[in-house]
Structure 1
């Protein structure tokens, strides 16, 4: 250990001795004070130098907007493009084996991929031999997996990006700072997601109805009926997109409409679960503490419950953590506490890395 490390240790011991003069006040202060060794930003490499190697400087990040795109959203775009390209090529070769109303081979192939992956299945384009039917079976499972695993995440990411605008719009008369916006987002995140997705879905239904009336020449009732049967993936097939312009529009509209409805239902289920969780938290916080609870919260079995034990017990009752999580964290703490002092310091972290 270097001389600087010895100075830090001696300073820590002197500080501990000064706190031991008044045990109650010292214990209380140590319980709630912020550890100087906890944040990485406050660690000075020169204080403890075991490797004598300089830390690498952070690489400058380009200012291009491409670096601001979330990686999951990039993967969504790549997977979707690959799916549509491969599907268009495969169905393009067997388009003569698919019966129904056709406009353009490439456009019809992409349109058939979208209708298949979203499970809409109008029936305006239908495979009519064994090879195309097996190909369609493969693509419908691939498309459903693509929507479930990737595209829904992309939609969720886009909704989260609009949360700040929605919060500001709903509180126009109040001037919200960054901390107020973050607090509002944390408390009502799922509710705002429901509002946002419901607004998008209503907008898509209106746009789809207007398009079917003006381009496909359907009545308002038939257009609305076709829109509803599409976004719910019911797809009776008596009303569908039959023109070239209609199928170009359908490629984008069907995908966004069906995903929006699926995401809205997921958010509603999440909101219901969150409501039950909040009710459980309220019950845990309002119920009276008994001797049985005190005994269950006493982790170290010393007859008393400190703040950490009380918080852990309440979190377990709320369902936020379980006994296995606590045991794993305690095990990790014991491994990091090299000197077995009951606390983790910078020296402990350094020795643990060298071990």
Structure 2
């Protein structure tokens, strides 16, 4: 009877001990049997994906602010167009053209402010445009970082029964190579279209047209060549904005492509590496011989 009571008293403790079992010291643990906490991984992944969705909303807000910025600039410069010197075609067209050239820091010099009010307004406008450009680049950098974090978290919290090829296939879906190639193709098309337009409409020599396109896209804006006709400036409003944004996207995707390749190498290392005894020892921060 006494032995039966002792056995019955030990069974609940043994059951509770099994329920509270933790990872013990490395000598008692098979590292290949350790599983990641899938629930925590899913929550981390959902949290990061929600951040990425917020980034998309932020991009929309930034471009809305950009449109308002151009609208306000056009209105202001159209009201003081008589205080701006240079070859003019149409009041509204020249105001939009001057706003775009100022915001993108191209600065051809074909239209220049010559009064105190026009100069001060141009100074405020160009600094506001550069600040807006900095915000856009900051949002782009956040987008790259958070996308790479999602990639890493998804790889680290994959079910261990999933084979390596399936995980790599999941990772491959986030490549930016095609977006990079698309941006490159669009950039070449914009260069070709701009060169042909300057050659046919603005009557530039072919080399001068290509030279003006390159100095415009890169925002050099030497000023020796620029758009001088009304049709040319209407074209320039859309072409300068699209070409400079396309060039920025090209370098953005180039940086993202490079960081994604580095991140993929890190993911492969993480997936191919098993938990070792030293990893468990380092995880025992409070030195209680358990890893929670």
1:1-355 correspondence to structure 2 within 5 Å: 20=15, 23=18, 71-72=57-58, 74-150=60-136, 183-186=171-174, 188=175, 190-282=176-268, 292-299=278-285, 301-303=287-289
Q: List alignment gaps of at least 5 residues for structure 2.
A: 1-11, 24-32, 44-55, 144-166
In structure 2, the CA distance between the partners of 1:151 and 1:111, relative to structure 1 (3 Å rule), is farther
Aligned partners of 1:290 and 1:76: how far apart in 2?
Answer: 47
Q: 1:297 to 1:115 in 2, by over 3 A?
A: same
Instruction: Give the number of equivalent residue pairs.
Output: 232
**1:81 Cα deviation after fit:** 3.0
Q: 1:232 to 1:33 in 2, by over 3 A?
A: closer
User: C-alpha distance in 2, partners of 1:235/1:258?
Assistant: 12
Question: Per the alignment, in what secondary structure is the counterpart of residue 134 of structure 1?
Answer: helix
Provide the rounded CA distance (Å) in 2 between the counterparts of 1:278 and 1:267. 16
**Which secondary structure state, in structure 1, belongs to the residue aligned with residue 85 of structure 2?**
strand
Compare the two structures and name the one with the higher helix fraction. 2
Preserved contact between residue 76 and residue 151 of structure 1 (Cα < 8 Å): no
Query: CA 1:98–1:150 in 2, change beyond 3 Å: closer, same or farther?
Result: same
For the 8 Å contact 2:87–2:111, the answer to whether it is kept is: yes
Q: Cα offset for 1:33?
A: 9.1
Structure 1: any 5+ residue segments left out of the alignment? 1-16, 40-69, 158-178, 310-355
Identify the residue that residue 7 of structure 1 maps to in structure 2.
Answer: none
SS at match of 1:126: strand
- TM-score, with structure 1 as normaliser: 0.55
Distance 2:168 2:264 in 1: 21
Cα distance in 1 for partners of 2:188, 2:17 equals 65
- Describe the SS at the equivalent of 2:173: helix
Q: Does the 8 Å contact 1:84/1:110 carry over to 2?
A: yes
CA distance in 2, matches of 1:183, 1:278: 8
Q: CA deviation at 1:282?
A: 4.8
Q: Structure 1 residues 241 and 33, CA, compared in 2 at 3 Å: closer, same or farther?
A: closer
Alpha carbons 1:99, 1:128 under 8 Å: kept: yes
- Cα deviations across residues 304-325 of structure 1 (Å, max 9, x unaligned)? 55xxx7xxxxxxxxxxxxxxxx
**Taking structure 2 as the reference length, what is the TM-score of the superposition?**
0.65
Question: Is the Cα contact below 8 Å between 1:198 and 1:264 reproduced in 2?
Answer: yes
The 3-state SS of whatever aligns with 1:109 is: helix
Shift of 1:103: 0.3
